[in-house]
Structure 1
Amino acid sequence: MSKRVNTALTDEDFAVPDNYVAYVPLAKRRAEKLSKLTGRSSGYDSPGRHGRSDQELGSVGSGSRRGGGGDDSSDDEDDAPKNVGPRATISLIEQSAEIRKQQMHAEEQKTDAQKALEEEEKLLKAVSERKQLASAEELSKGIKYTESLKTTWRPPRHYREMSEEQFTEIRKKYHIDVDGEEIPPPIKEFRDMKFPAPILEHLKAKGIKMPTPIQMQGLPVALSGRDMIGIAFTGSGKTLSFTLPLVMRALEEEVKMPLAKGEGPIGMIVCPSRELARQTYEGFQAISDILYKGGYPQLRSLLCMGGINMQDQQAVMFQGPHIVIATPGRLQDMLAKKKFNLDLCTYLCMDEADRMLDMGFEEEVRNILSYFKHQRQTILYSATMPKKIQDFARSALVRPVTVNVGRAGAANLDVIQEVEYVKQEAKIVYLLECLQKTPPPVVIFAENKNDVDDIQEYLLLKGVEAVAIHGSKTQEEREFAINAFKSYQKDVLVATDVASKGLDFADIHHVILFDMPKEIEDYVHRIGRTGRSGKTGVATTFINLNSSEQILLDLKHLLREAKQKVPPFLESLDDPLEKYREMGVAGGCTYCGGLGHRVTECPKLEQQQKTKTQGMFRPNERAGNEM
């Protein structure tokens, strides 16, 4: 029989336990948290007040609790952050508004020039975000070389024993600026560079008795196997600075083990134009012949460019070339067809490197680099290489040395620059008067191909022996014109910029610029065809209202820098960069090197942006065709 249980409730059952805490709604708990963070009242138990103490905030809602003691706060309140610091009682929203107000005030305090400088920095950062100048394999695999190539060349003992202070004095004397680590010493004599006797005799026969400043420092750097960026004014002997080290490396490899069929080259020179490639090739051939006559092995060089029949050089490709001189388009085509390989190639020089990148050959160069199998020594040379191009090129080099003789983009001081205001319709007639300034040979530069043809025709009608070259002429016509002019059969060469990059014409006394180019770099290259190898030359430039004000300002400052006479027409131009100079900021464009404008008004950058936009709609066309 089951026992009945008494279930009746007593008063004790209704008693409130001592540890009982009344339920606080979630909305109220959140409001209390917010009040602790912002220092404001939650709005539940009392009117809103600022600056309430922690004790007051902790007592919110305590009146509704039974049997509350000293620890009557909820767990949520225990976890809430405490007010710390002198600004703890100011809300985050108010602090944010105060910071924005301070920033706006600081922005208002900036001058227009300071704001412009900040805009330039943003623009330069945007245009400098280019892919690294390296092969696809190196980029994909993350291959990065940290040590320079080792060579057997060493400076003479008496140079190795000299102090760094003595090297600094030599560089200061010849205005050589260097940048890099463990820089080889400058050497003032060719014989101390340990060139073979036939080469020394060849240089002496050409009237080259001692190295130029770029050769003093550039040759030891290249012979040491170091990557280099070489910058020097036109006519300063840059070609010899990268030619002789490659000859020595190819000669050393041939003596150790002769090249067999299918091997080679040892080194390669890449040029932006056919005329420059042809000129470099002929220089290699001359040195090779001199060495062969002196009892050294024959060095085979291959010219690889558009417009010529490669079958004529089949024997060189069959035996294996030691040296390849090429333009980017034809070189890429030959490598793709496996006419030769770069398995043994350890030397790469890009002549007029910045111009090559400007002409749209960047992707071609990157594709060419993908054919290299091992680390290479890379050398970049130019007369005009702005700092941004240097920074971009330096990303692909290993412990590079920068050798700079004079400011990058500066005009040759051996050239007397004369600027004349000539109306557009009178320019072609005034040419005859300008030709009377100096005896021939004379080079005339024009911007357009049609102007080149018109000038040549006019001069021929006036009895002047003139030839012309531009990109639309056949390779045979171009080579005939160059050879006839170099051999003094013709007195005047009329050309577009295909003849302005690196071409070396002997004894040019006068260069005439029929019109002012669109970029100041082209002006520097054009007038650099005279005043070469220490000789003095004259450059006459026609300007008028058809020239843009930006390029005329660049010309004005370039003339001042070279201490040349500035005509009144240019002096009267207002200088928009005066506000920067008042701030102590150096004037000039950091992108193209022009001294009369800033990067925000850079015509070169503007043209490149237009070309890039056009290329998006015409992917099969490239702005920088081989000239």
Structure 2
Amino acid sequence: MSVTFNDFNLQTDLLEGIKSMGYKQATPIQAQAIPHILESKDLIACAQTGTGKTAAFLVPTLSRIAEGRFDFTSTLILVPTRELAKQIDDQVEGLSYFTGATSIAIYGGNNAQNWDQQKHALTSGADIIVATPGRLIAHMQMGYVKLDQLKYLILDEADKMLDMGFMDDLMKIINQLPKERQTLLFSATMPPKIREFARKILQQPEEISLSISKPAANIDQQIYLVYDQQKLKLLQHILKDVEVQTMILFTSRKSAVNEIVRALQKMGFEADGISSDRTQDERESILQRFRNKQLQVLVATDVMSRGIDVDNISHVLNFDVPQDAEDYVHRIGRTARAGTKGMAITFVNERDQERLVKIEKLIERELPKITLPEAIGESPVYDPAGNRAKFSRDKGGSGGGRGGNRSGGPRREGGSGSGDRNRSSKSRGERPAHVTAGAPATEQAPRVAGAPSTATGEAQKKKKRRKKPFKPKNAEGAGNSTPPAPAPAAE
């Protein structure tokens, strides 16, 4: 029996907004979560991307905001990436059109105007704050963020936030919130660390777990065993014979994005890429062009992959194997929707063969390994266990490098190796606030008039302790020596 939004006891104006957004029947996660949330219960929910989980927490929360008519910020939504913050903020705007509820997206970027706009919104007050943890902490440290009356805390994609190293930042924020609140935690996966985290912040939560759905049968999944230096040549060979309408190409290497985009453009494709090196305005503009079908191929890094919500994707290509098997399912699930056909192509180097084994175990299916064309060269031998032992030895002996990359190609975004999940997932623009001195800290407040310097006290102490080069008093030109140039400030 299908469930509609009229079956819930929702505020009347909100129902008008839901209708205008084209929502009719509730998805399984919505049907299960909304009643618990309306009953003011804490909730831990496991549901993958594309199941409607955003509306599952926004609809009941907006209903209660519309009924409560609060004159303070009642809701905080914490998310791992800027793209997801913007996406949720846009959805709030659509759903709350008739209720008058307001929201503000708080995310990083060294743009003084962006900072001032966020500060103004925070001081003026908004019903809902949607924020990345590091940027929110930067504002909270300035003293004007008022969350002392907060009623609802929502953590979306909690597993991704922990993978990106935001645990300390999350706890720093949560410890400043009222103890009496409703807390909702949504996660695509439910590893032990998420359950341990949930025990710390939730009170007698209800639990919902929707199993990871298998990829649609109408997705043509293709696996190519390939060395890293063969990938671009293979990409060009494949796309000669494939009719691409719209494609998302995922890569784990930030520095590979421009190289891939140039290769695609030489082949005649309208292509562009998003990574943490692009400004927020650039990323939003590129995504909008892709949604409007002005771009044929979008190249995105792992960090940017969540928050890309585009329909009618004909092809997904994994230039690198995703870190988690669940992410593979999420990625390829962007194609072959609504009964259409789609193709998912994945390049697997020697090091990533073990990840392919985990993917096949999850989807309960062995995927066909396609032989490389003669023009590309020979494939690596498919030997996951042997390669695991090989690269374990290499890591212990050499202490660096990405073992599967024979070409000495660019490193994965944010990290030095595929085994370091915390570092490899971090976006440069969404780095946790507790990073060590000397690391880029773009989540800090930009240098605007009246704002404190971003240089840390420890760094200043080190500069004070730095000695001038010794020069004898009778040296030629004594007293007129040029002092050493100061060390550059951290970005």
Q: TM-score, normalised by structure 1?
A: 0.57
Show the 5 A alignment for 1:184-583. Answer: 188-196=3-11, 199-204=14-19, 206-254=21-69, 258-259=70-71, 264-289=72-97, 291=98, 296=99, 298-307=100-109, 309-313=114-118, 316-407=121-212, 411-413=214-216, 416=219, 417-432=221-236, 434-435=238-239, 437=242, 439-531=244-336, 537-545=342-350, 547-559=351-363, 561=364, 563=365, 565-567=367-369, 573=383
Query: Given the superposition, is the C-alpha separation of residues 370 and 394 from structure 1 closer, same or farther in structure 2, using an over 3 Å criterion?
Result: closer
Show the 5 A alignment for 1:144-163. Answer: none
Show the 5 A alignment for 1:89-108. Answer: none
Post-superposition offset of 1:360 = 1.0
Show the 5 A alignment for 1:169-180. Answer: none
Indicate the structure with greater helix content.
1
For residues 624 and 219 of structure 1, the distance between their equivalents in structure 2, rounded to whole angstroms, comes to: 38
Contact 2:247 2:316 in 1 (8 A): yes
Query: Given the superposition, is the C-alpha separation of residues 459 and 333 from structure 1 closer, same or farther in structure 2, using an over 3 Å criterion?
Result: same
Unaligned runs of 5+ in 2: 372-379, 387-416, 426-431, 444-491
For residues 536 and 610 of structure 1, the distance between their equivalents in structure 2, rounded to whole angstroms, comes to: 32
Deviations, residues 359-396 of structure 1 (Å, cap 9, x unaligned) = 11111111111221341211111222224422432332
Deviations, residues 590-618 of structure 1 (Å, cap 9, x unaligned) = xxxxxxxxxxxxx987655999xxx9xx8
For residues 604 and 411 of structure 1, the distance between their equivalents in structure 2, rounded to whole angstroms, comes to: 25
Query: Given the superposition, is the C-alpha separation of residues 359 and 506 from structure 1 closer, same or farther in structure 2, using an over 3 Å criterion?
Result: same
Contact 1:229 1:402 in 2 (8 A): yes
Deviations, residues 436-477 of structure 1 (Å, cap 9, x unaligned) = 645422100111112111011111222211111111222222
For residues 73 and 145 of structure 2, the distance between their equivalents in structure 1, rounded to whole angstroms, comes to: 8
For residues 543 and 375 of structure 1, the distance between their equivalents in structure 2, rounded to whole angstroms, comes to: 49
What letter corresponds to residue 191 of structure 1 in structure 2? N
For residues 317 and 504 of structure 1, the distance between their equivalents in structure 2, rounded to whole angstroms, comes to: 27
For residues 261 and 127 of structure 2, the distance between their equivalents in structure 1, rounded to whole angstroms, comes to: 40
Post-superposition offset of 1:218 = 1.3
For residues 568 and 610 of structure 1, the distance between their equivalents in structure 2, rounded to whole angstroms, comes to: 28
What letter corresponds to residue 301 of structure 1 in structure 2? S
Show the 5 A alignment for 1:578-589. Answer: none
- Give the match's secondary structure for 1:419: strand
Post-superposition offset of 1:229 = 1.4
Deviations, residues 80-107 of structure 1 (Å, cap 9, x unaligned) = xxxxxxxxxxxxxxxxxxxxxxxxxxxx
Post-superposition offset of 1:504 = 1.4
Over the aligned positions, Cα root-mean-square deviation in angstroms equals: 3.4
Query: Given the superposition, is the C-alpha separation of residues 383 and 518 from structure 1 closer, same or farther in structure 2, using an over 3 Å criterion?
Result: closer
Show the 5 A alignment for 1:34-49. Answer: none
- Give the match's secondary structure for 2:44: strand
For residues 624 and 357 of structure 1, the distance between their equivalents in structure 2, rounded to whole angstroms, comes to: 18
Identity of aligned residues (%): 35
Post-superposition offset of 1:200 = 4.1
What letter corresponds to residue 107 of structure 2 in structure 1? M
- Give the match's secondary structure for 2:65: helix
Post-superposition offset of 1:621 = 6.4
For residues 609 and 316 of structure 1, the distance between their equivalents in structure 2, rounded to whole angstroms, comes to: 32
What letter corresponds to residue 245 of structure 1 in structure 2? P
Deviations, residues 94-145 of structure 1 (Å, cap 9, x unaligned) = xxxxxxxxxxxxxxxxxxxxxxxxxxxxxxxxxxxxxxxxxxxxxxxxxxxx
- Give the match's secondary structure for 2:201: coil
Post-superposition offset of 1:487 = 2.2
Post-superposition offset of 1:192 = 0.9
Give the corresponding residue for 2:455: none
For residues 489 and 389 of structure 1, the distance between their equivalents in structure 2, rounded to whole angstroms, comes to: 39
Query: Given the superposition, is the C-alpha separation of residues 233 and 317 from structure 1 closer, same or farther in structure 2, using an over 3 Å criterion?
Result: closer
- Say which one has the larger Rg: 1
Post-superposition offset of 1:270 = 0.7
Query: Given the superposition, is the C-alpha separation of residues 332 and 388 from structure 1 closer, same or farther in structure 2, using an over 3 Å criterion?
Result: closer
For residues 135 and 104 of structure 2, the distance between their equivalents in structure 1, rounded to whole angstroms, comes to: 12
Contact 1:513 1:542 in 2 (8 A): yes
Deviations, residues 563-593 of structure 1 (Å, cap 9, x unaligned) = 46443899975789xxxxxxxxxxxxxxxxx
Give the corresponding residue for 1:109: none
Deviations, residues 339-377 of structure 1 (Å, cap 9, x unaligned) = 221122111111110110111111111111122134121
What letter corresponds to residue 419 of structure 1 in structure 2? I
Contact 1:427 1:514 in 2 (8 A): yes
Contact 1:234 1:532 in 2 (8 A): no
Length, aligned pairs only: 393
- Give the match's secondary structure for 1:395: helix
Deviations, residues 237-283 of structure 1 (Å, cap 9, x unaligned) = 111111112211221221xxx51xxxx21101111011111111111
Deviations, residues 171-223 of structure 1 (Å, cap 9, x unaligned) = xxxxxxxxxxxxxxxx8221011234554455455553311111110111222
Query: Given the superposition, is the C-alpha separation of residues 531 and 328 from structure 1 closer, same or farther in structure 2, using an over 3 Å criterion?
Result: farther
For residues 472 and 525 of structure 1, the distance between their equivalents in structure 2, rounded to whole angstroms, comes to: 24
Post-superposition offset of 1:401 = 1.4
Post-superposition offset of 1:543 = 1.5
For residues 245 and 361 of structure 1, the distance between their equivalents in structure 2, rounded to whole angstroms, comes to: 27
For residues 438 and 169 of structure 2, the distance between their equivalents in structure 1, rounded to whole angstroms, comes to: 13
Q: 1:620 aligns with which of 427, 430, 437?
A: 437
For residues 440 and 50 of structure 2, the distance between their equivalents in structure 1, rounded to whole angstroms, comes to: 28
What letter corresponds to residue 441 of structure 1 in structure 2? T
Contact 1:359 1:623 in 2 (8 A): no
What letter corresponds to residue 277 of structure 1 in structure 2? A
Show the 5 A alignment for 1:28-39. Answer: none
- Give the match's secondary structure for 2:345: strand
For residues 211 and 539 of structure 1, the distance between their equivalents in structure 2, rounded to whole angstroms, comes to: 28
Contact 2:315 2:343 in 1 (8 A): yes
Query: Given the superposition, is the C-alpha separation of residues 565 and 304 from structure 1 closer, same or farther in structure 2, using an over 3 Å criterion?
Result: same
Query: Given the superposition, is the C-alpha separation of residues 440 and 360 from structure 1 closer, same or farther in structure 2, using an over 3 Å criterion?
Result: same
Query: Given the superposition, is the C-alpha separation of residues 378 and 625 from structure 1 closer, same or farther in structure 2, using an over 3 Å criterion?
Result: farther
Query: Given the superposition, is the C-alpha separation of residues 313 and 552 from structure 1 closer, same or farther in structure 2, using an over 3 Å criterion?
Result: closer
What letter corresponds to residue 620 of structure 1 in structure 2? A
